[in-house]
Amino acid sequence: MEDLASRTDRASITEPPTTTEASKPQTANDTTSAPSTQNQNQSQSQPQQKKEKKAKAPKPPSAPTSLPLSPALIDLRVGHILRCIPHENADSLYVSTIAMGDAEGTDNTHKDEETGRVVRTVCSGLRGLIPIEQMQDRKVIVMANLKPVTMRGIKSAAMVLAASPPPKEGEDAHAADRVVELVAPPDGSEGGAKVYFEGWEYGEGKGPEKVLNPKKKQWESIQPGLYTSEDLAVVFDAARVQGVEGGTGELVVEGVEGKCKVPSLKGARLS
């Protein structure tokens, strides 16, 4: 009779134990093998190199948010009124076609079919105050950088500069019978020529603004400094406007001798 130990030894010879996937030895050709412990240790011991950040270029100094208050902010030019008609929807308005030196394609301009010149449409509250005959084919001074406004259905893209006496106490500054005169440039002036007050010439950091901001009330702040002198010239006096440095200067056209004047009004205000 075989003892228990002999049967156990024979079974171990005839029936080898089954090998599982987990217990299979790793071979050199086994592509599913995990990285060696040595490689793992090396990867853990080597710190990851951080990417160097590129130095940012310094920002250029920011431009001032607004130019100092002065009459140079106003884009004044010689305007050539080609023709003027009554506004069909407003008894107090004229509608003028004015050439003022704009380049073709400038905002709020168009090419005049009759003359081929680049022009703007301008509404002015001069009807009944200036005879319409005096509004035809003549030179005037215009403000070219007011924000365009629509006046009774017609878009107006500038303002004609005119003078009128300051109202007396109790008088209506907008009465229909008030006296108004247009400001005229000196002889020899051409449409589009720059107009400025002596002492406040245009230039970098001075003006004019592309479009005056109505919220800043730049024109309303500067306007009190404008008046006509004893020799009928248009003058700006900085002492009449808070925040403007300088003295007094007469309105002149660049490159043309003479002054911008009115026909007869002395001590008048400009609007």
Using the predicted structure, report yes or no on whether residue 154 has a pLDDT greater than 90: yes
How wide is the angle at C-alpha 221 spanned by C-alphas 65 and 211, nearest 5°? 50
**CATH code where residue 188 lies:** 2.40.50.140
The pLDDT of residue 22: 44
Number of domains in the chain: 1
DSSP 88: T
pLDDT of residue 168: 82
What is the model's pLDDT at position 11?
41
Q: What is the DSSP letter of 203?
A: B
Considering the domain boundaries, does residue 11 fall inside one? no
Asked whether residue 50 is domain-assigned, the answer is no
pLDDT value for 53: 60
Within a domain: residue 91?
A: yes
pLDDT tens digits along 130-147: 999 999 999 999 999 999
The answer to whether residue 120 is domain-embedded is: yes
pLDDT at 167: 81
Domain residue limits at 165 = 71-270
Q: Which of 11-25, 58-72, 218-232 reaches the highest mean pLDDT?
A: 218-232
* 64 falls within a domain: no
DSSP 231-270: TSBEEEEGGGSTT--S-EEEEEETT--S--B-SS-SS-EE
Is 260 part of a structural domain of the chain? Answer: yes
In a domain, 16, yes or no: no
- pLDDT tens for 11-27 read 443 444 444 444 444 44
Tracing tokens 């107006």 back to the chain, one arrives at 156
CA nearest to 271, candidates 46, 33, 74, 131: 74
The pTM of the full predicted model, rounded to 2 decimals, is 0.75
pLDDT at 58 (0 to 100) = 61
